[in-house]
Structure 1
Amino acid sequence: MGDSFSKKENIKKKIEKRKLKDKRRENRKTDNNKGKQLEEMMIYVDESGNLSKTPTRSKDGSFLVTGPSVNHNREIQKEEKRKGTVISFFIEKGYGFIKDQKSGDHIFVHVKDLLDEISEKDQVFFVKQKTAKGAKATLVEKR
Structure 2
Amino acid sequence: MNTHRPFSKRKIIILSIVVLFIGLVISMGYQALDPFRHLRITIHNQSDYDLSNITARVSSSIDSFNTNNEGTIHTLKKGVASGEKMKFAPQLRLSGEASIYLEFTDSRGKTYNETVCGYTEYLSGNSYVTVTNEKITVKEECM
* TM-score relative to the length of structure 1: 0.28
Relative to its length, the structure with more strand (as a share) is: 2
- When the two structures are superposed, what TM-score results if normalisation uses the length of structure 2? 0.28
Tell which has more relative contact order, 1 or 2 (C-alpha 8 A, sep 6+). 2
Larger radius of gyration: 1
